[in-house]
Amino acid sequence: MTINWKGVMPAVTTKFTTSDTLDLEMFAVNIKAQLEAGVHGIILGGTLGEASTLTNDERRILVRETVKIVNGKVPVIINVAEQSTAVAKEVAQHAKEDGANGLMMLPPMRYKADSRETVAYFRAVAQSTDLPIMIYNNPVDYGIEVTLDMFDELLKDCPNIQAVKESTRDISNITRIKNRFGDRLAILCGVDTLALESMLMGAEGWVAGLVCAFPAETVAIYALAKAGKIDEAISIYRWFLPILELDINTKLVQNIKLAEVATGIGTENVREPRLPLIGAEREHVLQIIKNGLETRPTLPDYKLYL
């Protein structure tokens, strides 16, 4: 499958049982809800997917199960967040073997590589596979920025580097990328609270977090915005924003899993060292979710515009 880097691509959570094994049954419930809402791809093993706690076998199981569930309807993309180039190449190879359609790649983990090292890392992995790649550019959380000059180097000899998950928090960076690379590099917003603004500035899509709990509302915003129904998109987005802010938090996984429970398509179980929220922190998040559910908008027939 050739990936059309556009639309809403959920960075899905990994579901666990109370005995800390993969909960493939609830995982399937959520993936099917995403497909029903009209998402354009599924991204596995990101921050929301608790990637750092997954074993290699678990990651491969998730890819294979997702490929079965989506049955070719949308691309399946696995995140690559590794400490060494050799292991990153191995993950890319396994992804291909397991049926994934593409990769989302972070810079090297733990070691703060400089620009030359980061470019060499991305290039080595990209040239080891024919899978399409989206670079995840999140200097705020991961400490390494992939600059436009670095992209310029990569795009010259890595045709399978095709998109960027833009998470610099600098909305003007979208215009810089468009001015520099035109349509050569697709842009997907990676920050929930900047999604509509990013799409209005030319981003082709949205790698979303709260879509895990609210798939229809998320896809509706995208579809309406791209159809020029801006006022309708803004109305839903304004309702959504207090909930979307749960994504820009160090405990985004716990927050979003609580929201998934509230909408019936997930569980609260996280893998240690994460622990479920307690006390005032938990009550605060639950109140935000409750307020959102009580004022949840009636959506227009947004699928007309997909």
- What whole-number distance in Å separates Cα of residue 53 and Cα of residue 75? 24
The per-residue pLDDT for 2 is: 84
Q: Where are the domains of the chain?
A: 7-305
pLDDT tens-digit map of 166-177: 999 999 999 999
Instruction: Quote the Cα angle for 144-148-154, to 5°.
Output: 85
Q: Place 222 in a pLDDT band, splitting at 50, 70 and 90.
A: very high
pLDDT at 163 over 70: yes
The per-residue pLDDT for 287 is: 98
% helix / strand / coil in the chain, to the nearest 5? 50, 10, 35
- Indicate the SS3 state at residue 7: strand
- What whole-number distance in Å separates Cα of residue 306 and Cα of residue 303? 5
Instruction: Give domain 7-305's CATH superfamily.
Output: Aldolase class I (3.20.20.70)
pLDDT tens-digit map of 83-97: 999 999 999 999 999
pLDDT at 28 over 80: yes
pLDDT tens-digit map of 251-282: 999 999 999 999 999 999 999 999 999 999 99
Instruction: Tell me what the pLDDT averaged over the chain comes to.
Output: 97
pLDDT tens-digit map of 131-155: 999 999 999 989 999 999 999 999 9
pLDDT tens-digit map of 234-247: 999 999 999 999 99
Q: Enter the tokens of residue 4.
A: 């059309």
For residue 123, give Cα distances in angstroms to 85, 100, 102, 163. Answer: 10, 20, 15, 14
The per-residue pLDDT for 1 is: 67
- Indicate the SS3 state at residue 75: coil
- Residue pair 290/37 in contact (Cβ under 8 Å)? The answer is no
Q: Enter the tokens of residue 202.
A: 């030319």
pLDDT tens-digit map of 185-198: 999 999 999 999 99
- What whole-number distance in Å separates Cα of residue 62 and Cα of residue 122? 24
